[in-house]
Amino acid sequence: MPRQRTALPRGAAAVPAPRSVRTAPPRPWLLLPTPTGTPFTFGYAAVLLVTSLFAGYADPALVHTLYQQSSTDVAHLMRAPGLVLVASALWIAGGLTSSYALVFLLVLTALERRIGGLRTAVVFLLGHVLATLATEVPVGLSVLVGGLPDSSLHRLDYGISFGVAACLGALTGLLRPWLRWTVLIMFGAVLLQDLAAFTDPLSDWGHLLALATGIATWPVLRRRHRSRPGGGRVTTVAAPVVCGQGRGGVHT
């Protein structure tokens, strides 16, 4: 029996049936930094790898001296603020086994793929610098008025966790709402739990302030993200939530 065809109105063109949309295969390697895709995160990770290996194999007395010289305590901030703010961000407290080492890679890679390396570096530095100053300046003022002893001006305070917390806060603003609030609630709960333990309140307050700093960048980063080519397509990357370790003045 011959196949029947539906007659089209005069002048109408046949419209081909839509093709099925193919879903892009998962690319797990995008979770980690690459020299071309995320040069800032890749280069910074290489520096942290070198310093962590040095800290793990060098003479402990020498390493401790370098930690002290890199500390962003009040005494060092008064003498050479720029130097110690940079030097303190060259170490990972706990080395490569620290949970923040993995979080650094995943969070900064995801953020840099969305907003670029320069803006990622700015967010990291904002969190690192502002949280450090916000926690150390009150210590200096308290010593000045006699509320704290002079020994409070000298404490071991170094690491990347303030910058990582700021980048995590900034990244959540570019995620889908359900994932954004899940990550923020979980990470915020961990930080509040650390603060309630009162093991290292200065570092714990610093993490909360750094997270708030990253959240404060949402309006600017969202506008920049939309203006980037392909900015409307956001690949959701879940950022792991980890807690800060009780470090006696050392932020991770």
Is the pLDDT at 230 greater than 90, yes or no? Answer: no
Task: Let me know if residue 111 belongs to a domain.
Answer: yes
Cα(81)–Cα(207) distance, integer angstroms? 20
Number of CB atoms found within 10 A of residue 88's CB = 25
17 lies in some domain: no
Q: Name which residue leads in pLDDT, 96 or 21.
A: 96
Give me the phi and psi of 21, to 5 degrees please. -80, 125
Q: What is the mean pLDDT of residues 147-151?
A: 86
Q: Is 203 helix (H, G, I), strand (E, B) or coil?
A: helix
Q: How many domains does the chain have?
A: 1
What pLDDT shows up at residue 17?
54
Maximum CA pair distance of the chain?
103
Q: Is residue 138 part of a domain?
A: yes
pLDDT exceeds cutoff 70 at 61: yes
pLDDT at 233: 37
* Segment 70-109, tens digit of pLDDT: 999 999 999 999 999 999 999 998 889 888 899 999 999 9
Q: For residue range 124-137, what is the model confidence (pLDDT) as tens digits?
A: 999 999 999 999 99
Q: Say if CB 104 and CB 48 are below 8 A apart.
A: yes
Contacts of 152 (CB under 8 A, 6+ apart): 74, 139, 142, 143
The predicted pLDDT at position 249 comes to 57
How many CA atoms does the CB half-sphere of 64 hold within 13 Å? Answer: 4
DSSP of 41-97: HHHHHHHHHHHHHHHHHS-HHHHHHHHHHH--SHHHHHH-HHHHHHHGGG--TTGGG
Q: How much is the average pLDDT of 109-132?
A: 97
> The tokens of 93 are what?
């407290």
CATH code, domain carrying 207: 1.20.1540
Higher pLDDT, 1 or 233: 1
| Domain containing residue 89 | 37-227
pLDDT at 18: 53
- Is residue 24, in this structure, part of any structural domain at all? no
Q: Residue 198: its pLDDT value, please? A: 84
Task: Decide if 12 is inside a domain.
Answer: no
Q: Is residue 241 part of a domain?
A: no
Assigned domain for 8 exists: no
Mean per-residue pLDDT over the chain, rounded:
84
How much is the pLDDT for 150? 86
**Taking Cα atoms as reference points, which of 98, 5, 103, 95 lies closest to residue 51?**
95
Summarize pLDDT for 155-185 with one digit per residue, the tens: 899 999 999 999 999 999 999 999 999 999 9
Residue 233 lies in a domain: no
